[in-house]
Amino acid sequence: MSEQSIISLKNIEVKFQQKNQLIHAVKDVSLDIERGDIYGIVGYSGAGKSTLVRVINLLQKPTSGTVLVNNIPLAETNNNKTTYLQGSKLRNARKKIGMIFQHFNLMNERTVADNVLFPIARNHTLTKEQKNTKVADLLALVGLSDRSNAYPSQLSGGQKQRVAIARALASDPEILISDEATSALDPKTTNAILALLKSLNEKLGLTIVLITHEMQAVKDIANKVAVMENGQIIENGSLLEIFTNPQKQLTKDFIDTATQLEDGLAKVQAQPIVTNLQAPDVLVQFSYAGETTGEPLISSLFKEYGIVANILFGNVEILQSTPVGTLIVILSGESHAIQTALHNVKEQGVKVTLLKGELI
Ligand SMILES: Nc1ncnc2c1ncn2[C@@H]1O[C@H](COP(=O)(O)OP(=O)(O)OP(=O)(O)O)[C@@H](O)[C@H]1O
């Protein structure tokens, strides 16, 4: 566990015993989340994401493994025996962990203000006035001051999620777990909610664990990412590391979807200029990050090697302040020049993938 870890999971196992079947939902997962992280956990449905994050606040007891939140053990396995935090100690630890869900989970018979008040309604250290001020402040923070007397049924999906966020923040958590919180929202509303989460992370220093099946959401706000498959974390690291150098095919698939490369590639490959590609021309993909950028790359191919690059697809993202780009190009020129150019481009740290044609 690193010193800054706010959440540390060690060797977490979750098994469900169903009638005749044992479901091994989480398999030996270890993960450290640092204070201030927005940690994205990506995976397809059934990968075990929800089960894993519910372990963090013990909504799901791990079958075995250690869960430390702020260095407090919520679950601990020693000598093959797992013990769990209980009673008021567990309640206090849970106050530090807010949670939001895909379907908002609001109380429909209560107003927006009463929904937000609910977690602190029985708090004896705050006066009624302080509680009301707190609710008003939280509604202002999520941009809903003017809807405090509305009922959930009178709100849009995005507004409902804002109420849920305000409610999750009422007990001053240090951690917010977002379980597919944008999955039921349209793209524009999704962006607005992600922007709100990012601003809460910056303003309040809130640590956010974001689980989703959409790499796009992770790409927009996370600084770290873990990819889950079949109960295991198959790959994790900084957003930039994962995006620029994914190791596992599933991670590559998620990234290609998020950067629209998959779509771009399909369209490019259907074009006559590609279907009729003649040797020695080749179709290649350049992927680059940081200081290398697309324009000088293309012009140097011409200037230094006499190669004409026809750009068929391009995408540049700014990830954690670093430009990350993908270009799909047809290179035309002398076969030897193409080979030398590609070799030198690789030396400069650009990833080159040959998509069609042969290097002869
Ligand atoms: N309470 C439970 N009892 C039995 N099996 C469960 C329970 N909760 C989850 N599972 C099973 O554990 C596996 C992982 O489910 P989980 O909900 O964690 O996946 P997920 O990645 O969050 O997917 P989704 O986004 O669809 O919820 C699935 O096979 C699921 O059926």
| pLDDT (tens digit per residue) in 220-237 | 899 999 999 999 999 999
- Assign 292 a pLDDT band (cuts: 50, 70, 90): low
More confident residue, 165 or 299: 165
Closest ligand 1 atom, residue 228 Cα: 21
| Domain coordinates in residue numbering, the chain | 5-258, 268-356
pLDDT score for 303: 87
Q: What is the 3-state secondary structure (H, E, C) of the chain?
A: CCCCEEEEEEEEEEEEEECCEEEEEEEEEEEEEECCCEEEEECCCCCCHHHHHHHHCCCCCCCEEEEEECCEEEEEEECCEEEECCHHHHHHHHHCEEEEECCCCCCCCCCHHHHHHHHHCCCCCCCHHHHHHHHHHHHHHCCCHHHCCCCHHHCCHHHHHHHHHHHHHCCCCCEEEEECCCCCCCHHHHHHHHHHHHHHHHHHCCEEEEEECCHHHHHHHCCEEEEEECCEEEEEEEHHHHHHCCCCHHHHHHHHHHCCHHHHHHHHHHCHHHHCCCCCCEEEEEEEECCCCHHHHHHHHHHHHCCEEEEEEEEEEEECCEEEEEEEEEEECCHHHHHHHHHHHHHCCCEEEEEECCCC
Distance 15 CA to ligand 1 centre (A): 10
Distance 218 CA to ligand 1 centre (A): 21
pLDDT score for 323: 84
Q: In a mutational test of the pocket of ligand 1, which residue from 50, 53, 101, 213 has the highest number of ligand atoms less than 8 Å from its CB?
A: 50
Closest ligand 1 atom, residue 213 Cα: 25
Q: In a mutational test of the pocket of ligand 1, which residue from 16, 18, 213 has the highest number of ligand atoms less than 8 Å from its CB?
A: 16
Comparing 5-258 with 268-356, is the CATH topology the same? no
pLDDT score for 320: 81
Question: Which residue has the CA at smallest separation from atom 8 of ligand 1?
Answer: 51
pLDDT score for 2: 59
Q: For 251-265, what is each residue's pLDDT tens digit?
A: 988 888 887 888 888
- For 277-285, what is the mean pLDDT? 91
Task: Read off the pTM.
Answer: 0.88
Distance 189 CA to ligand 1 centre (A): 27
Closest ligand 1 atom, residue 44 Cα: 21
Distance 67 CA to ligand 1 centre (A): 19
pLDDT score for 29: 97
pLDDT score for 22: 93
Distance 24 CA to ligand 1 centre (A): 10
**Whole-number average pLDDT of the chain:** 92
Nearest to 29 by CA among 7, 46, 13: 13
pLDDT score for 171: 92
pLDDT score for 3: 62
Determine the longest span between alpha carbons in the chain, in angstroms: 80
- Assign 56 a pLDDT band (cuts: 50, 70, 90): very high
Assembly ipTM? 0.94
Among 85-94, 95-104, 298-307, the minimum mean pLDDT is found in 298-307
Question: Which residue has the CA at smallest separation from atom 16 of ligand 1?
Answer: 48
Phi, psi (5° rounding) for residue 55? -70, -30
Question: Which residue has the CA at smallest separation from atom 1 of ligand 1?
Answer: 16
Question: Which residue has the CA at smallest separation from atom 25 of ligand 1?
Answer: 45
Given a contact cutoff of 8 angstroms between Cβ atoms, the answer to whether 40 and 237 are in contact is no
User: Could you count the other beta carbons within 10 Å of the beta carbon of residue 326?
Assistant: 23
Question: Which residue has the CA at smallest separation from atom 11 of ligand 1?
Answer: 25
Domain spanning 268-356, CATH class: alpha beta
Distance 219 CA to ligand 1 centre (A): 24
Question: Which residue has the CA at smallest separation from atom 9 of ligand 1?
Answer: 51
Distance 46 CA to ligand 1 centre (A): 5
Q: For 316-355, what is each residue's pLDDT tens digit?
A: 888 888 888 889 999 998 888 899 989 988 888 888 999 9
Domain spanning 5-258, CATH class: alpha beta
Q: In a mutational test of the pocket of ligand 1, which residue from 19, 23, 56, 212 has the highest number of ligand atoms less than 8 Å from its CB?
A: 23
- DSSP class of residue 112? H
Distance 103 CA to ligand 1 centre (A): 16
* Ligand 1, CB cutoff 6 Å, lining residues: 16, 18, 23, 25, 43, 45-51, 180
- Assign 163 a pLDDT band (cuts: 50, 70, 90): very high
Among 97-101, 173-177, 288-292, the minimum mean pLDDT is found in 288-292
Question: Which residue has the CA at smallest separation from atom 31 of ligand 1?
Answer: 46
- For 125-142, what is the mean pLDDT? 95
Given a contact cutoff of 8 angstroms between Cβ atoms, the answer to whether 315 and 264 are in contact is yes
